[in-house]
């Protein structure tokens, strides 16, 4: 029988690489939110009052509908600087999903540095590993050199416009500054006043892995050749960086009056990088022209969803993370590396698959921004590489990826039985499955999730063996980063195997595929050994208790985010509580995402106060690794995933949609009496609007984008009113436990409330806990 992965074989990897790196426009992920999903429901032909031109019996009053309302609200979330930032984690940051820049004081204190980095710029020598041979490579930095000594700055990073503006005061006068990145062009406008003048210099940086600062290169490693420079007829300066492994990077910049425009191109294996960079500049033309296109994109971006709650500091943080992820990722682009497009000295100059990638993308789902999903793009485009990553004996039916890789997922994966870390591709596929579940785009399930997950699980199946107890057991594999000899029956892998087999069975049924492996998947679910458990809860693996502090929660994946062992199962509640409490009690190795993960787990249990307590540890400056002034985060180097996962923890407090049930305000802290959600996207492709005031849910509006079954845990008390958008009562069925099944056709809306109809107003929540702006205000 021909496997599904063979039926849907991807385009050759090198073909995709060539077109992407030449600057070709790549379509957004199928099923992403489009403008049609935010228009009023298309009711034509459904027999509703709206379809007949009648007055709708109920309608939301959205106070955030106008652009000026968004501009005012987001201005309250902006980052501010009245002190000059001296480090990357203090300064403003700009990006468009590919090109990135951070702005802070240069090593020469009289200059301001604009870093210039690009998400596609990497080496291409996989024989030296992801830390060196396929590492992200530095590009360079610009310096702005005033005539006088800098005495003060007054900067604002506008979220609404995705633009840095402000002034630089010096002993000679003043410089006014505006900067943005759009279409792979960094545009900066600086105007001098008084005796000031602005001098710009571009400084290329050596094309070598950032690991060179802390370790020697591997044996046989040859440095990349030196860069060369040239000036074109129109005065554009071009820096060309050839690469030993093939391809090149080109950086082009020019001055146009007060404007400086810069672009970076990268190509492999071709030498088209210079043409790409110059082409970007030709399209950029000027700051004004670029800004017009730039603000149009961002002004369409934010209104796809709205979240507001009473804590000013955390509310601002949440909106900054949306700005950050849209600056770092776009569908069709490369998967985010550990530092996104803002490369700085780091021991992790690549893509890490054992937690970082997964946490980076969770918030795009609830926030209704699937157009940012470069992870699904990467998996779809590099299926052949994922096959090549497993040992040759298993490539007929298997696929995988090692712990770290380049943007093409180039990294071999070890065999179970050798203590290798083997589950990372399966966990990443859970993210892609979430994108499917939030879009209900069947092509994503058919062409990416199903064939790649089939291969990822098949790799496991080669190594599952029956024991004397009649159960199937897995030889030694690694629970990511747990510091002991890898055990058998690693809980991390058992959870992923269970999730993968059940998802494949469900997907085959949905796709109408009579797959020959269905009986095998069913057998695995029936016979797979139970999760190892001791008096402290879930263990790392067979005969390996959780006995040392563990920053990852790889041994708790079945609780979160896979939701296989849940609070909805009364028989498992004590086990969940015991396991999470023990993990948090041994905390010497904990990092920021240890707190965000715990917050999401407590939100699942409905304990919003403990969830918030855990989350606040990430923002506590007395902790070892807190959130930084500009909301970025660092351990031994920059890592982007933890702040992004903190936004997902907030999402988990406000709305959850696992297990086929949408849960409204399931883990809201008691201190947050008012919360507003609008067009929050859930599994099943629903858009949820819900308003909580004075500690109680006032109303819920849900729109179906796909016609999936709707089960709603509403949190309302008393007699319910459930109305469709034409004013007729919706067909409902009480499932018990506060859950209501509602018949909601595709494209229709339903309103749910108790008692008299409340005011159906969508508006920001009043701030009751003020806090300073992020940045250096």
**3-state secondary structure string across 418-472:** CCCCCCHHHHHHHHHHHHHHHHCCHHHHHHHHHHHHHHHHHHHHCCCEECCCCCE
Cα 388 from Cα 482, distance rounded (Å): 27
- pLDDT at 104 (0 to 100): 98
How many other CB atoms are there within 10 angstroms of residue 506's CB atom? 11
Question: How far is CA 240 from its chain centroid?
Answer: 32
Residue holding tokens 């790799």? 459
Q: Which fold has domain 87-304?
A: Beta-galactosidase; Chain A, domain 5 (2.70.98)
Phi, psi of 182 (to 5 degrees): -155, 140
Separation in Å, CA 371 to CA 10, 189, 294: 21, 29, 16
Give the CB-side neighbour count of residue 504, counting CA atoms within 13 A. 30
Q: What is the pLDDT of residue 56?
A: 74
pTM for the full predicted model: 0.93
**pLDDT at residue number 536:** 98
Q: Strand, coil or helix: what is 522?
A: helix
* SS3 state at 344: coil
Distances (CA, A) of 260 to 249, 288, 296: 20, 12, 21
pLDDT of residue 55: 57
Domain boundaries for CATH 1.50.10.10 within the chain: 1-20+382-565
pLDDT at 483: 85
List, in sequence order, every beta strand (DSSP E) within 159-217. Answer: 163-170, 173-182, 185-194, 198-204
Question: If we measure between CA atoms, which residue out of 261, 377, 288, 372 comes closest to residue 323?
Answer: 372
The CATH code of the domain at 1-20+382-565 is: 1.50.10.10
Placement of tokens 């062009």 in the chain: 185
Backbone angles phi, psi at 103, to 5 degrees: -120, 120
Picking from 214, 215, 222, 18, the residue whose alpha carbon sits closest to that of residue 120 is 18
Structure tokens at 51: 């379809």
Q: Which residues in the chain are classed under CATH 2.70.98.50?
A: 87-304
Burial grade of 455 (CB within 10 A; 0-12, 13-18, 19 or more): buried
335 and 374 in contact (C-beta within 8 Å)?
Answer: yes
Give the pLDDT means over successive 10-residue stretches in the chain (777 positions): 36 32 35 36 35 67 97 98 98 98 96 98 97 98 97 98 98 98 98 97 97 94 97 97 98 96 97 97 95 98 98 98 98 97 97 98 98 98 98 98 97 96 98 98 98 98 98 96 90 98 98 98 98 98 94 96 98 98 95 97 98 98 95 96 98 98 98 98 98 98 98 96 97 96 98 97 98 97
pLDDT digits (tens, 9 = 90+) for 235-273: 999 999 999 999 999 999 999 999 999 999 999 999 999
Are 533 and 575 in contact by the 8 Å Cβ rule? The answer is yes
Predicted local distance difference test score (pLDDT) of residue 485 = 84
- How many angstroms separate the CA atoms of 209 and 211, rounded? 5
């Amino acid at each position: 029988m021909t496997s599904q992965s063979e039926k849907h074989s991807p385009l050759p990897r090198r073909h995709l690489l060539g077109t992407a790196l030449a600057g070709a426009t790549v379509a957004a992920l199928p099923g992403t939110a489009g403008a049609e999903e935010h228009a009023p429901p298309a009711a034509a032909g459904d027999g509703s009052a709206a379809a007949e031109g009648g007055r709708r019996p109920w309608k939301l009053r959205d106070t955030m509908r106008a652009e000026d309302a968004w501009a005012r609200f987001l201005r309250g979330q902006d980052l501010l600087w009245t002190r000059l930032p001296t480090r990357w984690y203090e300064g403003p940051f700009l990006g468009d999903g590919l090109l990135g820049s951070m702005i802070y004081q240069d090593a020469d204190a009289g200059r301001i540095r604009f870093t210039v980095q690009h998400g596609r710029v990497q080496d291409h020598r996989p024989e030296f590993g992801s830390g060196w041979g396929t590492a992200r490579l530095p590009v360079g930095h610009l310096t702005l050199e005033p005539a006088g000594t800098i005495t003060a700055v007054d900067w604002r990073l506008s979220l609404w416009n995705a633009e840095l503006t402000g002034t630089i005061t010096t002993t000679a006068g003043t410089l006014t500054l505006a900067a943005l990145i759009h279409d792979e062009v960094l545009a900066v406008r600086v105007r001098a006043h008084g005796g000031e003048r602005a001098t710009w210099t571009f400084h290329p940086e050596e094309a070598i892995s950032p690991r060179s600062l802390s370790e020697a290169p591997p044996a046989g490693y040859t440095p990349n050749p030196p860069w060369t420079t040239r000036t074109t007829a129109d005065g554009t300066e071009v820096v060309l960086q050839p690469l030993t492994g093939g391809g090149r990077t080109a950086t082009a910049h020019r001055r146009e009056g007060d404007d400086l425009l810069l672009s970076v191109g990268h190509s492999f294996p071709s030498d088209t990088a210079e043409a790409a960079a110059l082409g970007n500049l030709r399209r950029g033309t000027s700051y004004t022209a670029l800004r017009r296109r730039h603000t149009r994109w961002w002004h369409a971006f934010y209104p796809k969803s709205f979240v507001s709650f009473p804590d000013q500091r955390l509310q601002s943080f949440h909106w900054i993370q949306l700005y950050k992820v849209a600056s770092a990722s776009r569908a069709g682009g490369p998967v985010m590396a550990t530092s996104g497009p803002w490369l700085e000295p780091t021991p992790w100059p690549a893509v890490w698959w054992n937690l970082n990638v997964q946490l980076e993308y969770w918030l795009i789902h609830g926030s209704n921004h699937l157009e940012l999903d470069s992870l699904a793009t990467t998996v779809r485009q590099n299926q052949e590489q994922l096959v090549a990553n497993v040992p040759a004996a298993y490539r007929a039916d298997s696929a995988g990826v090692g712990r770290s890789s380049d943007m093409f997922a180039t990294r071999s994966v070890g065999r179970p039985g050798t203590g290798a870390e083997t589950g990372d591709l399966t966990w990443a596929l859970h993210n892609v499955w979430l994108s499917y579940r939030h879009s209900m785009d069947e092509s994503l399930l058919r062409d990416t999730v199903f064939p790649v997950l089939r291969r990822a699980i098949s790799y496991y199946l080669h190594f599952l063996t029956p024991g004397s107890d009649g159960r199937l057991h897995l030889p030694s594999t690694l629970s990511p980063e747990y510091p002991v000899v890898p055990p058998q029956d690693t809980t991390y892998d058992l959870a992923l195997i269970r999730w993968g087999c059940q998802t494949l069975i469900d997907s085959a049924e949905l796709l109408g595929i009579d797959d020959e492996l269905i009986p095998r998947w069913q057998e695995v679910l029936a016979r797979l050994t139970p999760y190892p458990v001791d008096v402290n809860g879930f263990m790392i693996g067979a005969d390996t208790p959780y006995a040392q502090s563990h920053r990852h929660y790889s041994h708790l994946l079945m609780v979160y985010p896979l939701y296989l062992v849940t609070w909805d199962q009364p028989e498992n509640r004590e086990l969940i509580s015991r396991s999470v409490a023990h993990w948090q009690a041994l905390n010497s190795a904990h990092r920021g995402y240890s707190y965000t993960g715990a917050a999401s787990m407590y939100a699942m249990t409905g304990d919003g106060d403990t969830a918030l307590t855990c989350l606040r540890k990430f923002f506590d400056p007395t902790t070892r690794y807190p959130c930084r002034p500009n909301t970025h985060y660092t351990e031994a180097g920059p890592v982007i995933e933890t702040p992004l996962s903190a936004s997902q923890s907030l999402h988990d407090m406000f709305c959850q949609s696992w297990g086929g049930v949408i849960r409204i305000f399931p883990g809201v802290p008691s201190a947050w009496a008012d919360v507003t959600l609008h067009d929050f996207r859930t599994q099943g492709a629903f858009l949820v609007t819900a308003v909580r005031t004075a500690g109680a849910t006032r109303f819920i509006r849900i729109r179906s984008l796909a016609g999936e079954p709707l089960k709603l845990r509403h949190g309302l008390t008393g007699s319910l009113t459930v109305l469709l958008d034409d004013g007729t009562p919706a067909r409902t069925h009480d499932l018990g436990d506060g859950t209501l099944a509602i018949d909601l056709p595709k494209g229709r809306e339903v309103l749910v409330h108790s008692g008299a109809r409340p005011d159906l107003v969508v508006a920001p929540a009043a701030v009751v806990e003020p806090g300073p702006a992020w940045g250096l205000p």
